[in-house]
Structure 1
Amino acid sequence: FESNGGSVVPDQTVQYGELAAVPDVPTKAGHTFTGWYTEPEWSTPFDLNTTSIVQDTTLYAKWAPNTYKVTFHTLGGSAVSDAAVEYGRKLSAPASPSRSGYTFAGWYADPELKTLFNFAQTEITADLTLYAKWSVSSTPPSGGNDGNSSGGGSGNQNNNGSSSTPSPPNTTPHSSTNGHLTLAAGQAGQLSLGNDILVSIPAGAMNQELKVTIEQIADPSASLTHQVQLLSPVYELLKNAPQNFTVPVTISLTFDPSKLQSNQRAELFYFDEQDKVWLSAGEPTVEGKHIRVDVNHFTKFAVLAVDPPKEPADISFHDVEGHWAKEVIQQAALQGIVKGYSDGTFKPDASITRAEFTVMLMNTLHTEYTEATLSFTDRSKIGDWAQSAVAHAVHAGFIQGDNNGAFRPNEAITRAEMAVMIANAMQLKADSGTGSSFVDDEQIPSWAKTAVAGLQKSGLLNGKGLNTFAPRDNTTRAEAVKLLLSMPK
């Protein structure tokens, strides 16, 4: 039973001509089970109650993603229709509501209006209610000051010197062009550094005195990888308060459109200091060489070039039609995990070499690893097409040489060796001394036992029929692809 990402359904041994026992319905987060099918493409349903077993059989679970309701509470604004979103998909931002005397300040995930909802990054996994936040509209008078005064007076004085009712908070924007700005609690302001960055802070964005600075990073190399293409300088925005803004702040940057290739677009990104990656700051507004986005926090920001989504390639290997692994092979090819041969074939039933599997594994992980210097005694036999992947895998600790210090790149990888590499990549192993439930567990080499047991327990590793693992069998290219695509992303 191949549950396709669902809970594990144990294999069964059935005598010829008998019915298989109907197993418990598997479960999968965010999906509804819709039946067992005889092929991965889910063309032919299999009725366990009426169909006899006359050969080794693999059944494939089919799933339908659940649909969740997103409700928009506009809190006094114009109505916004509910949305229906499939599990794991992102929600498209609706048109902003309107409210007389107020300015819409974003959608929040809690009625206290503390957590700004990120449409660009949040996947929907349950019913959701979003709440509109509003700020009182104010039309600031022309002019301004240096932005570093608190603004407003201490209250109106009557003729006898006594204090009358205090004046309301000053919402007139204060401005500064030197990269430093101090605002009183709740005060609006604008801050720039030169002509290429402007930060607009609305009234009510912070309920305490706010000190803001902009600094251009002279050497941004520490936050860049070879995949990042800068279209602007990197700016670091800092403030004295650790909490996020209660009303979104608008950041506007100038970028160089001449650096864009014809199929690229500009997008504003922020740097995640914890994971050391650049993340989209949200849906931008682009006007010529200017781009702006509303954010609720400060960090490093820059404009980056974004490549368009890759169009699905025309995958037409000559020798996979009718093969049980056709769908997973095509999916892996579309994701750039595998390639066919120059003659248009994939050779799904051919044994996969240790070098080929290493390349596929590293392509699957999509992670930047540091390369190690290859010290294998047979390193000259590693093809140029595999050198980088092998070097990355060595440094990550996924592979090592044999007792003679050789890698044996052109030898077929056994099922035991494959299990160890994947378990190393996933950091997944059973406790020491734990065995698998395969009937040939005693044939699994000691160095592979915990890896095989861990993968079987996770539901990623199935036997080859009659609950055998066949650890010394060579792994086929189709088997390798199926297992790699089953790895959690």
Structure 2
Amino acid sequence: MKKIFSILLSAALLSGLLATGVSAATLQSNQAVYQLSQDPLGTEPFSYSATETHSVTLVPVGTAIQSEGDGLLLVEVFLYQQAEKHWSLDSMLSGQSQLTIRDGDHIYHISTMDPSGTEPNTALDRGIWVKGQSTGEVQPVTITGEPVDDWAANLVNEAIAKNLFPTHLKGQDLRDSITRTQFAALSVRLYETMSGHTVPAFTGPNPFTDTTDPEVLKAYSMGFTSGVSNTTFGSGIQLNREQAATMLSAVYRKLGGTISPKETVSFSDRSSISTWARDSVHFAASKGVISGYEDGRFGPKDPAQRQACLIMALRMQQKLGINTII
């Protein structure tokens, strides 16, 4: 890691060349060119340590950045440390094709991953440094560009960083309700990240007449979901909150966990939770995987938001990881 940082802090990196276009621009490091969806606003100095000051390019919040040639990005996210009076590494993302700058609270060091690198997260180039600057009221987006509510943004970004973001949700408005197909894909991704094993492609006869989606068939083969009838899956049907809790519990069981029927949570609308979902809802709530509303309701039949489901998956990974299976 120290070797990587020594490369990233090269002076050549920090003085990246800027070439503006008609409605966008490019930033160039030593071996890669980065395309920006909006023109930069200028530069400003920032303190990397107690003794080092460098320069960062300011871009409008909402600017999308990608490596020319569609290379995958290695992104280091820096946060200002008030006590130390300088910026320091907060988190790292890798393997995404595009980064959207969603706020002005972080500095991003963006480089292109070396496809021939012998070590994980090896940078091809020295990269560029960018920071968001608000030019007015901006709709919050994730670090990969999807619209998200402000309260959920940080947790959703953490879920993305933890490799919990399925392809089915990329480019989608995460404030909207999740579909059965999208949650099936999320359940497969959650199982794979928690178990460390890839779910094999489904090779049996397709039981559904309305979908051939490979992630749906994987989720079906693993016992995470079933159809809405003997022959249909209901791909575009919205998933509700009690169904989400039930599918998450199915993932937990597949990981070797046990759902105790004794655990209860006092939701004011407990009687409206379907009998078949009660154990799963109470288990997920008691473990902090899923929460009720401020008024004490669970809302079992309410549509589950995409952003909320990603946060549920993140909480399950954090609270019920492989070392906590009971």
Q: TM-score, normalised by structure 2?
A: 0.48
Structure having the higher helix fraction is 2
Q: Give TM-score scaled by structure 1 length.
A: 0.33
| Rg comparison, structure with higher value | 1
